[in-house]
Chain A
Amino acid sequence: MAQSAKPISSPVPDAWYPSLAVLMLAVGLFITASFFIYEATSSRKNRSLAKELVTGAAASVFLGFGSLFLLLASGVYV
């Protein structure tokens, strides 16, 4: 072979999967909680759609990554 073949591994180290899963899910659930608290306590007049969407987007990003790392940590290599 002209060049030597380099082994490929995961972009995120394997050993970090469980910790990352817990961390991201915790942050995601926290933001979800704040989203639902905002929904429950705000009245129809004061509700701001932008704030809702931003909170929802942030929560779904963290929950999405958290659930991905949870799947990887539990052995379902998707």
Chain B
Amino acid sequence: MSSFRFDLLLILVFAIHFAPGLSDLVISKLDRRIDLTSQIVRMTLTLKVENTGTDPVSEVSLTFPEHQANNLALLVAVSTKGKGKSRGSATNLPIKIKQPNDSPPSLIWYAASLPKELGKGESLNMDVLVVFTHMLRPFPEKITQAESQLFLFQESAHFTSPYNVKVQSLTVKLPSENVESYTKLENTKFSGSEIKYGPYENLPALSYSPVIIHFPSNTPFAVAKELVREIEISHWGNVQVTEHYNLIHGGAQSTGEFSRLDFQARPHLRGASAFRNLIAMLPPRAHSIYYRDAIGNISTSNIYGDSSKTLLEIEPRYPMFGGWKTSFTIGYGLPLQDYLFQLGGTRFLNITFGSPMNDVLVENLTLKVVLPEGSRDISVSVPFPVKQSQETKFSHLDIAGRPTVVVEKINVVPEHNQYFQVHYKFSNLSLLTEPLMLICGFFSLFVACIIYMHADFTISKSSSSYLAKLQWDEVQGTIQQLQDIINRCLLIHDKLEASLRELSRNGDVQACKAVRKSADGLLKDFSKESKPLLAILQSSPQAAHILPKVEELMFNRHRWKQRGPLLFGHRNLLE
């Protein structure tokens, strides 16, 4: 508190000395709305800036005291031309921190560059949204289970602007209709759940009038101390998002004991400061959603899906009181064609940056985008400043690892949940390396099998059992060859029979004779081939028991051959 007062003194001293050295912009109307309905404080400024000097102005500066600027998560300024019905298009103004040399260090300046210079006498409407985190201080800092949370909020009723303000007012919206205490200045009104300060007229630049509001709030204060969000792209059709949360209840710390009985019996009286559910808005067509933690799957969750979003409602294993922590993992898959696009030779991924959870403040966000192996020329474009780096992740079927882009940011609010792009180059042929690896794996198994069958691992090459085995192999080979020859003979016989049947059908003797001639030739070849094989069989001792059967087969075949011409002879006689 003492440092706060010192800053105030410094600003007041500075205001007296600094006033003449500024450009001649004047804010003719300023309306401030501060929204305290959640843990993230949002301030909306609607101002009308007029150039009362002679030089054209290209920048409008906004100043915030240091303790506010340190907690500033997002500043967006939009300018519109015209008013009311003739409102022109809104253009986003680029903001940068620009500290003039003679400004005290406890005042931080943000300069919004105008698209077109503001000439003499012209005026411009601006809408500014400022998002602050950690601005609400719990007071008392420790509460029991039965009490509800009270917060302190410190602000200035006069906006510390570097320009003179003609008319300004401040409206503070509270989460409920109760307020413990608030600073009563002139023109203060409290109605419903809003406190209105103003309108104040003709205030000099950098005027400051502190107000302190002490109010109750039981809206969920979910703060993620650390969120690691991993987005893995697979060109086979899936974007897998895995989010690891380390959540803490950022409101007033809970002291004393926790009585589960009281909490379950009267949750509104004993446990008003706790929150049970968290709601996440996932994109539509999200599938395979899971919610688990270090223990295992958490089944207290619900999914309501429609064509524009998938609503995931999760309930941690216990209600979250002040200072309590929980950590869990949420994962879901998204179809590839909604997020990956091709432009010219490069591909780019278009996906949201922040956490899909409603109203969760993330203190440390680490976003990892894992691109498939073989991606080159990777670049990231995020609409706000972040810290980037690259690393490699080894996953399924990887040889060199997948290139990963790591983006880090501090103090991420739901307004940061915008789309960002990751550009890279990838050729579809690199997709084939994955099945190729699997094919090589299977082929190596087959090659190992072949080598095993071909290799001879016996130790002694002259033992009797080894020699007997060799002879057995040889006999087996010979019999197989004989079998082959006999099968071919059978085919010839079938052809002959077919030709005989043809003959009985259409009486074409010539064709039948031709077939018989070729069959005779082939059969002669076969008998020549089988002679050496029979010789091997006769010489080998292993073939002793099978030799008679083979000889019987040969004999039978020979007899059939002799019978064949007799049949033909009959036919010729008939003719």
Contact = CB atoms under 8 A, between A and B. Distances in A.
Interface of A: 1, 3, 5-12, 14, 35-36, 39, 42-47, 49, 52-53, 56-57, 59-61, 63-65, 67-68, 71-72, 75-78
Question: Most chain-B CB neighbours within 10 Å: which of A35, A57, A77?
Answer: A77
Interface in B334-376: 335-338, 340-344, 347-348
Interface residues of B, number: 47
Contact of A10 (B237, B447, B454, B478): B237
B442 A63 contact: yes
Contacts of B443: 56-57, 60
Contacts of A36: 449
B344 A3 contact: yes
Interface of B: 234-238, 240, 288, 333, 335-338, 340-344, 347-348, 395-397, 428, 431, 434-436, 438-443, 445-447, 449-450, 453-454, 473-474, 476-478, 480-481
B340 A39 contact: no
Contact of B238 (A3, A53, A77): A77
Contacts of A35: 446, 449
A26 to B, nearest CB: 15
A35 B447 CA distance: 11
A59 B442 CA distance: 8
A57 to B, nearest CB: 6
Nearest to A7: B337
Given A9-B335, A71-B396, 11 more contacts: A3-B343, A8-B340, A9-B336, A9-B337, A14-B237, A35-B446, A45-B474, A57-B446, A64-B438, A68-B435, A78-B397
A77 B439 contact: no
A78 B340 CA distance: 17
B446 A59 contact: yes
B502 to A, nearest CB: 35
A46 B340 CA distance: 55
23 contacts: A6-B342, A8-B341, A9-B237, A11-B428, A14-B237, A39-B453, A44-B473, A44-B477, A45-B473, A45-B477, A47-B453, A49-B450, A56-B446, A56-B447, A56-B449, A57-B443, A60-B441, A60-B445, A63-B438, A67-B438, A71-B396, A76-B396, A77-B240
Contact of A43 (B236, B333, B434, B477): B477
A59 B444 CA distance: 12
A5 B288 contact: no
A5 B341 contact: yes
A31 to B, nearest CB: 10
Given A11-B431, A56-B443, A68 B237 contact: no
